[in-house]
Amino acid sequence: MATKAGTELATFGAGCFWGTEKFFRKQFGANLISALVGYMGGASNATYQDVCTGTTNHAEVLQLSYEPNKVAYADLVRFFFRMHDPTSLNRQGNDRGTQYRSVIFTHTNEQQKIAEQIRDEVQASGKVKGQIVTQIQSATGLQFFTGEPYHQRYLENNPDGYCNHRLYF
């Protein structure tokens, strides 16, 4: 996704992208230009069914477009660590597999530094039990593939749908 002047991208994988989208929209909604669920980390375009095989190296992610003068990247990262279990390797709740891994795809060197700093702060704070396993990976050379239309705003359109996300601290 191309960004407009004065906007930035942030990409987070925190387990099932339905809940990730729901929680970020609830927290930052008016300050987001867009929030799209999709896939990132693998080499080629894939469908949801392909990603669920665990063979594509894609993670289910939420890609945000935002104006940094309205919301700070650091605030997005702090919220990311609050709304899922960053100590759980390749799973969140009942969802298991590499597509559910905890990952931050950074779009700039500054985002990389901020994500690493906040990860270290959260680990040192004692607010999470166990070692944080979140991957922090450059998005350079990777492509975001937008998820199928029925996945966009899924929990908004299906309020009784499955969601295992919550605020941990």
What domains can you pick out in the chain, each with its CATH number?
8-157 (3.30.1060.10)
Burial readout 29-48 (b: 16 or more C-beta within 10 A, e: otherwise):
eeebeebbbbbbbbeeebeb
| pLDDT (tens digit per residue) in 12-48 | 999 999 999 999 999 999 999 999 999 999 989 999 9
Rounded to 10 deg, the angle between the 109-125 and 73-82 helix axes is 40
Which amino acids are annotated catalytic? 16
Distance in angstroms (rounded) separating the CA atoms of residues 85 and 130:
10
Structure confidence at residue 4 (pLDDT): 74
**88's tokens:** 């759980």
pTM exceeds 0.85: yes
- Identify which of 168, 68, 169 has the alpha carbon closest to the alpha carbon of residue 111: 68
Confidence of residue 6 (pLDDT cuts 50, 70, 90): confident
Averaged pLDDT, 123-147: 97
Which amino acid belongs to residue 7?
A: T
- pLDDT > 90: what percent of the chain? 96
